[in-house]
Structure 1
Amino acid sequence: MSERIRSFISVDIEDPLILDRIERIKEMVLSTGVYMKPVEKENIHLTLRFLGEIPVALIDEVYKAMLAAKTKPFEIEIKGLGAFPTITNPRVIWVGVSRGAEELRNIHKQIEKGLRKLGIRPDTKGFEPHITIARVKSGRNKSKLVKVLNQLADVEIGVMKVTSIRLKQSILTFKGPIYKTLREVKLE
């Protein structure tokens, strides 16, 4: 059996100012007392496509699918706090993308076409650009969390330029995931 790796395609969030603002928002969310697992600052990213476990032999083919989705660099505005599946039943806490969301959707669509040709199962959830900042583990104090989510629904976080997309390996450990860049497509 061939070796497999857990992987995803992402836009990494590396702007220190944006990361600091996300950290402050995360602290406000955590201060509600809801039991949740925050995403580590060094792991903050926007997932374009979660691939799951793929054969190592497919890495270069996935990279080719990413190359086919190549576009010019563009800006995204990171704005708003929300939750999946809903604000009143939060499981995943995220910050959103306003400007640049359409460009991200187009990249996702192009990548999806290439992945389908490789026999990778289609993304059935639909793609909504967001940056996960925490995962809720318990419903205790939920009303406090819902209040913060509503208060920060339109919070402005910042604007950054998207200059690359990356294929990442996710190595699961007891302390949390470690992400390793396997391939990078520079946008130019």
Structure 2
Amino acid sequence: MTEGTRRLFIAVDPGEACHARITGAVGQARAHAPRARWVRPEGIHVTLVFLGAVDASLVPAVVAKMEDVAGRHAPLTLRFEGAGCFGGRKPRVLWISVAGDVPALGLVQKELSEALTEVGYVPEERLFSPHLTLARAGFGGTDAGLWAAARSLAAESFGEVEVRELVLYESVLSAAGAHYEAVARLPLGGLPAPLH
């Protein structure tokens, strides 16, 4: 990061009720992978676009692109249930699955990616796979305990949420680690965003 840049990403939130259920379940799952780096409960979200370091002068243009895309899409419903890992036999990331209006969410993600190329974003080549990241492998890059944690969460249901907004977040680094601050909230379908 250089001076004058901001580390940004666009996400949707699972909502307070789902956060509470996830927090409760994760408390027990952590015992299976104590060396993993667990995401703080308030940092759990579905990332749509990771922009990375963005020149601060481009933030208004990013918000304008988000507003345009958000205005074309109705609110959608997502469910959070089950768990798995990325990395196959060498698990690197523990996640919760996303179900519900996933095709509609994928269309929002696709349109965001395309619109943001005009402000320098380079879309990822891998397919969009919505999920909630719970933990990442610590030292060494893999952690077999993540599979045990995933198995302990496999039958869990964490509820559903009506997604009514897209959120532009800034990842702010501090001595205590990264935390996320909302830069802008853009309502889907032209509906007013709920107060937070």
Q: Secondary structure at the match of 2:15?
A: coil
- 1:35/1:102 CA distance change after superposition, 3 Å: same
Structure 1 equivalent of residue 22 of structure 2: 22
Structure 2 equivalent of residue 107 of structure 1: 108
**TM-score relative to the length of structure 1:** 0.89
CA offsets 1:39-97 (integer angstroms, 9 cap, x no match): 111222111111100001111111122123221111101111111123x3221111110
- 1:33/1:12 CA distance change after superposition, 3 Å: closer
2:137/2:143 contact within 8 Å kept: no
Listed as ranges, the gaps of 5+ residues in structure 1 are none
2:76/2:101 contact within 8 Å kept: yes
Matches within 5 A, 1:51-70: 51-70=51-70
Instruction: Report the Cα distance in structure 1 between the residues aligned to 2:184 and 2:101, rounded to whole angstroms.
Output: 23
1:77/1:160 contact within 8 Å kept: yes
1:34/1:139 contact within 8 Å kept: no
What value does the CA root-mean-square deviation take over the aligned residues? 2.2
Instruction: Report the Cα distance in structure 2 between the residues aligned to 1:180 and 1:6, rounded to whole angstroms.
Output: 11
Structure 2 equivalent of residue 82 of structure 1: 84
**TM-score relative to the length of structure 2:** 0.85
1:78/1:157 contact within 8 Å kept: yes
Listed as ranges, the gaps of 5+ residues in structure 2 are 192-196
Instruction: Write the letter of the residue equivalent to 1:51.
Output: L
- 1:140 deviates by 11
Structure 2 equivalent of residue 136 of structure 1: 137
- 1:164 deviates by 0.5
Residue 178 (structure 2) pairs with residue 177 (structure 1): yes
- 1:33/1:147 CA distance change after superposition, 3 Å: closer
Structure 2 equivalent of residue 42 of structure 1: 42
2:77/2:162 contact within 8 Å kept: yes
Instruction: Report the Cα distance in structure 2 between the residues aligned to 1:127 and 1:140, rounded to whole angstroms.
Output: 22
**Which one has a larger percent strand, Structure 1 or Structure 2?**
1
Q: How many residues align?
A: 186
Segment drifting more, 118-127 vs 166-175? 118-127
Instruction: Write the letter of the residue equivalent to 2:178.
Output: P
Segment drifting more, 129-138 vs 102-111? 129-138
Q: Which aligned runs of 4 or more in structure 1 are off by greater than 3 angstroms?
A: 138-145
Instruction: Write the letter of the residue equivalent to 1:8.
Output: F
Q: Percent identity?
A: 27
- 1:66/1:147 CA distance change after superposition, 3 Å: same
Instruction: Write the letter of the residue equivalent to 1:85.
Output: G
1:5/1:53 contact within 8 Å kept: yes
- 1:37/1:169 CA distance change after superposition, 3 Å: same
- 1:125 deviates by 2.9
Instruction: Report the Cα distance in structure 1 between the residues aligned to 2:112 and 2:141, rounded to whole angstroms.
Output: 39
